[in-house]
Structure 1
Amino acid sequence: MNRDKAPADDPVDLAARGFGLVSSGSDAARSAETRLRKLYRWASVEEASQLVALGGDGFLLETLHGMLENGHPRPVFGINRGTVGFLMNPWRADGLAERLAAAKPIRVRPLTMTATTVAGETLTHAAINEVSLLRETRQTAKIEISVNGRVVLAELAADGVLVATPAGSTAYNLSANGPILPLNSPSLALTAISPFRPRRWSGAILPDDVTVTFRVIEPAFRMVAAVADQFEVRDVARVEVTLDRSSELTLLFDPEHALDERIAMEPFAT
């Protein structure tokens, strides 16, 4: 017998456990939200100590970024009502109280991107998956790469370059043929995007306590944008990337669907 099932006028109380509900607003997410609000009682988002997020990976990242910005990180159980949903749990309306009680916490730390534009403006933003530099025009990007102040590559000619966390190593980094990093690995992936020169240089695996600095060569002519997850800064001249050890985010997963195990198995996916 499913203990989550209850009459429509007697929903299961998740508010008492501190869970609030947020939705991306897509048709699929709105439909799921309507169903869950009939089955369960929720805390207000402002008062909730934990969240259930309905949407896709992009909405989950948006939710996590919002918590970083307001200084109020809370555990989040994502439910996939989007497309890929790699960071999400499968959609099921029934049994949610039991799933939340058994959920496995996975903790991740974000990157900090500090980007300085050609005009001299400096902007800082967090990235949970990756920080990427991308050419804005038909001109090949030319980028100098330094690690802890030491130039390790004087000139990368490519479409761009990125730094990915272990949690983000299966996202854009994997599409750019970067390495998949175990979630508990104290490492960052430095990955070239369509490199032209050096011809055989694809990137490197770095310890996560380093500072990676990118200097755009001829930035006014070979314009480059820097992107921290979904936040873009155009016409950058210099970008510095570090791991933010002062911030920690908690994602909740069904034990049989946890992120660390899925990342470990991703190299064997067909």
Structure 2
Amino acid sequence: MSLRLDFTASERPEAQAACARLKAIYGSAAKPDVVVALGGDGFLLQTVHRCLRDQIPIFGMNRGSVGFLLNDYAEDNLMDRILKSESTLISPLSMRAIRRDGSVHEALAFNEVSLLRQTHQGAKLRIHIDGTVRMDELICDGALVATPAGSTAYNLSAHGPIIPLTAKALALTPISAFRPRRWRGAILPHSAQVRIEALEIDKRPISATADTTEIRDVTAVDIREAEDLKATLLFDAGNGYDERVLTEQFAS
């Protein structure tokens, strides 16, 4: 069995060079069965956004600086690797951000939705889960809600938990929390409806970002999993994402 492949690459020279070589070996289909993404994790997620409507599976290979979601790069036996690969479905978060002028902006995030302070003043946030206030006031640099796929990105840097892709959970993680100082965040069910409300917005303006879409001067952000939307990531057999999560957690 053969597959129709297409290749896409980040702007990094090594990714562009690899893309040219692979197209010369395997060709490039206008209507592919699989898209091979060459770059880092960030570029892979950009490719997921582009391919979401057409529901094309994505096999990533690392030609970037960070490659937690990517397979090792190799030019030989690529077709066989993809045919034997393990598939994992991921869903994005839906962000609905309300600005001070009353306008509403929506975007999707396969990594995380993050809220960040815009000035030297710390953010002051109120957190609602499923309509109930769970934290009346959080003073911090910001907070984020991460998907399992995004849990190894900004969330991990902010000391949030790594979540297996097959776990039906989201990570809610504070960024440099000042008060309550000891709060380290929460693991939420994937069905949770999260609202983060900005307090004292005249003094403490806040921006909200869904992957690469940034909205400034927000007053509230509603976040939920867009469970009806699915993207397919392909991983080498025996080296799927959940195996990498276990390896990362037991690394010395």
The match for 2:168 is 186
- Looking at structure 2, the residues matched to 164 and 84 of structure 1 have their Cα atoms a distance apart, in angstroms, of 18
The match for 2:91 is 109
Check if 1:60 corresponds to 2:33: no
The match for 1:98 is 80
1:78 pairs with one of 53, 56, 60: 60
Structure 2 segments unaligned to the other structure (5+ residues): none
Check if 1:30 corresponds to 2:16: yes
2:208–2:218 contact (8 Å) kept in structure 1: yes
The match for 2:192 is 210
Label 1:40 to 1:23 Cα distance change in 2 as closer, same or farther (>3 A): same
- Looking at structure 1, the residues matched to 33 and 207 of structure 2 have their Cα atoms a distance apart, in angstroms, of 36
- The residue type equivalent to 1:124 in the other structure is E
**CA deviation digits over 1:128-170, x for unaligned, max 9?**
1111111111001000000111111011000011111112111
2:69 pairs with one of 63, 66, 87: 87
1:118–1:220 contact (8 Å) kept in structure 2: no
- Quote the offset at 1:257 in angstroms: 2.5
The match for 1:40 is 26
- Looking at structure 1, the residues matched to 103 and 55 of structure 2 have their Cα atoms a distance apart, in angstroms, of 28
The match for 2:106 is 124
Structure 1 segments unaligned to the other structure (5+ residues): 1-13
The match for 1:20 is 6
Q: How does 1:158-197 map to 2 (within 5 A)?
A: 158-197=140-179
**SS of the counterpart of 2:177?**
strand
TM-score, normalization by structure 1: 0.90
The match for 2:34 is 50
- Looking at structure 1, the residues matched to 246 and 62 of structure 2 have their Cα atoms a distance apart, in angstroms, of 20
- Quote the offset at 1:55 in angstroms: 1.3
**CA deviation digits over 1:27-70, x for unaligned, max 9?**
111110121122112212xx1232111111111111111233xx
CA RMSD of aligned residues (A): 1.4
1:131–1:227 contact (8 Å) kept in structure 2: yes
- Quote the offset at 1:98 in angstroms: 1.3
**SS of the counterpart of 1:100?**
helix
- The residue type equivalent to 2:183 in the other structure is W
TM-score, normalization by structure 2: 0.96
- Looking at structure 2, the residues matched to 20 and 94 of structure 1 have their Cα atoms a distance apart, in angstroms, of 16
- The residue type equivalent to 1:259 in the other structure is Y
The match for 1:6 is none
Aligned residues: 252
2:164–2:241 contact (8 Å) kept in structure 1: no
**SS of the counterpart of 1:266?**
helix
- Looking at structure 2, the residues matched to 242 and 146 of structure 1 have their Cα atoms a distance apart, in angstroms, of 12
**CA deviation digits over 1:76-101, x for unaligned, max 9?**
00111111111111111111111111
**SS of the counterpart of 1:168?**
helix
Check if 1:239 corresponds to 2:221: yes
1:106–1:251 contact (8 Å) kept in structure 2: yes
1:220–1:235 contact (8 Å) kept in structure 2: no
* Bigger Cα Rg: 1
Check if 1:260 corresponds to 2:248: no
Aligned residues with identical type, % of pairs: 46
Label 1:254 to 1:209 Cα distance change in 2 as closer, same or farther (>3 A): same
2:3–2:79 contact (8 Å) kept in structure 1: no
Structure 1 residue ranges, 4+ long, deviating more than 2 angstroms after superposition: none
**SS of the counterpart of 1:35?**
helix
1:141–1:216 contact (8 Å) kept in structure 2: yes
**SS of the counterpart of 2:14?**
helix
